[in-house]
Amino acid sequence: MDAFFASAEQASKPSLRGKAVVVGGLGPRGVVATASYEARVFGVHSAMPMAQARRLAPNAAYLVPRFGFYRSISEQVMALLRALSPLVEPLSLDEAFVDLEAGGAAWDEGSARLVGEKLRADIRAVTALTGSVGLAASKMLAKIASEQAKPDGLVVIDPGTERELLGPMSVRILPGVGPATGDHLRRAGIHTVEEIVEAGEDELVRLLGKAHGHGLYAMALAHDERPVVAERETKSVSVEDTYDVDIHDRLRVGMEVQRLADRCVRRLRGAGLSGRTIVLKVRRYDFSTLTRSETLRGPTDDPAVVREAAARLLESVDTTGGVRLLGVGVSGLADYTQEDLFAQAAGDLGELPEEEPGEVAAEKDEAPVERRWVAGHDVTHAEFGHGWVQGSGLGRVTVRFETPDSEPGRVRTFRVDDASLAVAEPLPLVAVGGGVAASGLRPDSCSHPHHP
């Protein structure tokens, strides 16, 4: 899924089509989650500090993510993939592998191409977004093919051509080669995949260790035997917030940990899970990160138990100098709750507070930017209908009133407490002008190792 968040926003907001759009945390410490192609022209890219993005593209539209909206689109695409094969491996909202042979959908290059083209057409029809597909004999190569297919394309890597294709590519193209490994290889004079092969397996083992060296050398030879795994077991549930200004007050740190514990339990319950191990994460003013954990006698989804455990863990952490990030998680998951753990919490069990209107979930490590009127989020007005927040401040909120199938809408400004204005749910996307609203969905596709 290429520039997925930004493409989905362009599709749902007619006034942003063809414009630079940046999605991410809007606070001083926010980072870019996704930038549209139009924004990338100015050098904006994902994981960039939002302050730097604003300097590069001051006239772009800056929006807070709508994760629920993106998830709903992702689920539509995943359903299309599961119709092709029982072996679908979602890696995130914007990436998935499919074993086409397992479902009998494809058995040679010709049938694989037909499946890929039909998938792209189905994505266009169902989501109003375009898609690109990569087809190859392994997961690694399918991923590379999907990148080559962008935007709105299909690429097949023919068996027997893999080594020639990979040779001149940067070592960073290989799975498991991040910035640290890439720098380590570069210092050894290894910049391309072919140079990994030339260096030899023994040298890779010497540089990176036995397991990593063996694995990387095999990848450089285009050997990737990793199967498509249909179900990935959830190992933990967690939430975390990054704060615009370091928190120095110990009392407020404690209150934030309690709030995060409640949010974590809401997410835990929403997944129908409970857990035995409570985890606290603290990133201090100097960027040092501390993690503390406590394992209970059995699994729980009781907010009071999680709050108490998180508070105990916080007691062992020195927050002198300030805190820039806090997180609470639960691991050791189970699909049941051990009732006698309730006794660990003093007093009543307590009810979880409701989510605040407009609160942004912590998937992107970003604290809520607005309590109610969040840039890019949906609203409705008693007179003007559906719209989205362009910005707010000084007691005012600016709204552009438009829908996915309307013309670019008009902008109006209201008092933040205007009773006629309310938070709304996103509207579904629709095709525009016989084409598509925006480009963006790129599910990677992978076949069995014995056919394209």
DSSP string, 393-442: ETTEEEEEE--TTSPPPEEEEEETT-TTEEE-PPPPP---TTS-SEEEE-
Which two structure tokens, joined as six digits, stand for 273?
């899970």
Q: What is the mean pLDDT of residues 244-258?
A: 92
- Would the pTM of this model clear 0.95, i.e. be above it? no
pLDDT at 19 over 90: yes
CA–CA separation, 362 and 67 (whole Å): 10
Does residue 83 sit in helix, strand or coil?
Answer: coil
CA atoms in the 13 A half-sphere facing the CB of 23? 22
Q: Is 95 a catalytic residue?
A: yes
Closest residue by Cα to residue 89 from 232, 210, 297? 232
Question: How does DSSP classify residue 170?
Answer: B
| Contacts (Cβ under 8 Å, ≥6 apart) of 349 | 302, 303, 304, 342
Does residue 269 sit in helix, strand or coil?
Answer: helix
Q: What is the mean pLDDT of residues 39-51?
A: 93
pLDDT, mean over the chain: 84
409: amino acid identity, one letter:
G
pLDDT at 15 over 90: yes
In Å, how far from its chain's centre is CA 434? 30
Q: What is the pLDDT of residue 232?
A: 64
CA–CA separation, 284 and 318 (whole Å): 9
Compute the Cα dihedral for 21, 26, 32, 34 and give only its sign.
negative
What pLDDT, in 10s, does the model give residues 106-131? 888 889 999 999 999 999 888 889 88
Catalytic residue among 95, 194, 195, 201: 95
Q: What is the pLDDT of residue 441?
A: 35
CA atoms in the 13 A half-sphere facing the CB of 2? 23
CA atoms in the 13 A half-sphere facing the CB of 13? 31
Confidence of residue 278 (pLDDT cuts 50, 70, 90): very high
Compute the Cα dihedral for 202, 204, 210, 213 and give only its sign.
negative
pLDDT at 75 over 60: yes
What pLDDT, in 10s, does the model give residues 341-394? 333 333 333 333 433 333 333 333 444 433 479 999 999 999 999 999 999 888
Confidence of residue 269 (pLDDT cuts 50, 70, 90): confident
Does residue 144 sit in helix, strand or coil?
Answer: helix
Confidence of residue 3 (pLDDT cuts 50, 70, 90): confident
Q: What is the pLDDT of residue 54?
A: 95
Q: What is the mean pLDDT of residues 206-212?
A: 87
pLDDT at 179 over 90: no
Q: What is the pLDDT of residue 251?
A: 94
Q: What is the mean pLDDT of residues 182-198?
A: 92
Which run of H or E residues covers position 282? strand 274-284
Which of these ranges, 127-131, 200-204, 431-435, has the smallest mean pLDDT? Answer: 431-435
In this structure, the strands spanning 323-334 and 378-381 are unpaired
Q: What is the pLDDT of residue 357?
A: 33
Whether 352 contacts 262, CB under 8 Å: yes
pLDDT at 190 over 90: yes
What pLDDT, in 10s, does the model give residues 143-178? 999 999 998 899 999 888 999 999 999 999 888 788
Q: What is the pLDDT of residue 347?
A: 32
In Å, how far from its chain's centre is CA 267? 16
Q: What is the pLDDT of residue 345?
A: 35
Q: What is the pLDDT of residue 360?
A: 35
Q: What is the pLDDT of residue 128?
A: 87
| Contacts (Cβ under 8 Å, ≥6 apart) of 106 | 100, 112, 114, 115, 447, 451, 452
297: left (phi over 0), alpha (psi -120 to 50) or beta: alpha
- The total of other beta-carbon atoms located within 10 Å of residue 164's CB is 10
Q: What is the pLDDT of residue 263?
A: 92
Confidence of residue 195 (pLDDT cuts 50, 70, 90): very high
Q: What is the pLDDT of residue 307?
A: 94
Which run of H or E residues covers position 34? strand 32-35
The H-assigned helical ranges of 150-209 are: 162-166, 179-187, 193-199, 201-208
Q: What is the mean pLDDT of residues 48-72?
A: 93
